[in-house]
Amino acid sequence: MDNPNGGIGGKTVLITGGTSGIGKAAAVALAAMGAKVVVVGRNPERGEAALEEIREQGHSDSVELILADLCVQSEVRRLAETFLARHDRLDVLANNAGLVQSRRTETPDGIETTLAINHLAPFLLTNFLLDRLKESAPSRVITVSSEAQRWGSMDFGDLQSRRKYRGFPVYGMTKLANIMFTYELAERLKGTDVTANCLHPGGVGTNFGKNNGGPMALFFRAAKPFMRTPEQGADTLIWLASSPEVEGVSGKYFSDREEIEAQEIANDPEARRTLWEMSEELTGLKVTA
């Protein structure tokens, strides 16, 4: 199908957090362009309802739902196994799911929840799917970060925020981790024809943050009228997934289709390797690549 963003028709795209917000908006747009879209959601009822909406709005039956709770590492593994069993190619992996929490909680694996969903889930899922991405090359890994990365600092001595937890700075730290992961992944993927990029979608008026109470809930409620629509927020994600303009471009951080700079630590190879190795330990994953 001809479209302004290029040759995504017939390609297979996997989008986490694809049943609401910018993930759903991207799923609709890419389905409308002729892609086979697999969305990941957690809730069966909301997932099925979103699936029908994406099919209807994207005028496509090539849309599929896989249920998984990304805060549980065994669920991330099962998600990867389910996808690999059903699909012999993966052209685009969009790591989009994320959350912010006002209070510190832990997952069933004993991991701080924001870190688990925002960073460790995409780290684990991407590594599980790397062989399929390489087999499908040229292919793309896209991770949704945020300019909230500027609020975060990388404390390798307290990566799980046990000593001190504040919602926005911890969220910012995980978004910084997304960028560091992307840059390190791009280095490791050199010569494979698999690219890795990340993006800031802008402040988007979605259900994001509504799981919180107190001041954080008030902040999101007050800010929502001034935020972008999910469709506007999804634009750079859609562009990175589909556009010939970024064919072969890797290891970059984008906002509004323009490359921007991340915090200085993201450009430190030693810090990136440290984060990668700690992520391997926290997920029980040892990567040979």
Query: Among residues of the chain, what percentage have pLDDT more than 90?
Result: 85
Residue 74 within any structural domain of the chain: yes
User: Does residue 222 form part of some domain?
Assistant: yes
253 annotated active-site: no
Across 54-73, average pLDDT: 98
pLDDT by residue (tens digit) across 127-150? 999 999 999 999 999 999 999 999
Among the residue ranges 33-47, 251-265, 273-287, the one predicted with the least confidence is 273-287
- Six token digits for residue 262: 């991340």
Tokens 């970060």, residue located: 145
pLDDT of residue 69: 97
Which tens digit of pLDDT belongs to each residue from 185-209? 999 999 999 999 999 998 654 444 4
Q: How many CB atoms sit inside 10 A of residue 195's CB?
A: 25
In a domain, 233, yes or no: yes
Asked whether residue 3 is assigned to any structural domain, the reply reads no
Q: What digits encode the pLDDT tens for the residues 202-229? A: 865 444 444 445 554 544 454 444 457 8
pLDDT at 209: 46
Is 138 domain-assigned?
A: yes
pLDDT at 220: 42
* pTM score, whole prediction: 0.90
Taking CA atoms, 70 is separated from 73, 105, 151, 182, 225, in Å, by 7, 15, 24, 19, 29
- Out of 165, 171, 183, 253, the active site residue is 171
In a domain, 5, yes or no: no
Give how many domains the chain has, as a whole number.
1
Query: Does residue 288 form part of some domain?
Result: no
Domain span at residue 276? 12-282
Does the structure show a pLDDT above 50 at 253? yes
Asked if residue 116 is part of any domain, the answer here is yes
Domain of 100, CATH number, reads 3.40.50.720
First to last CA, the chain: 36
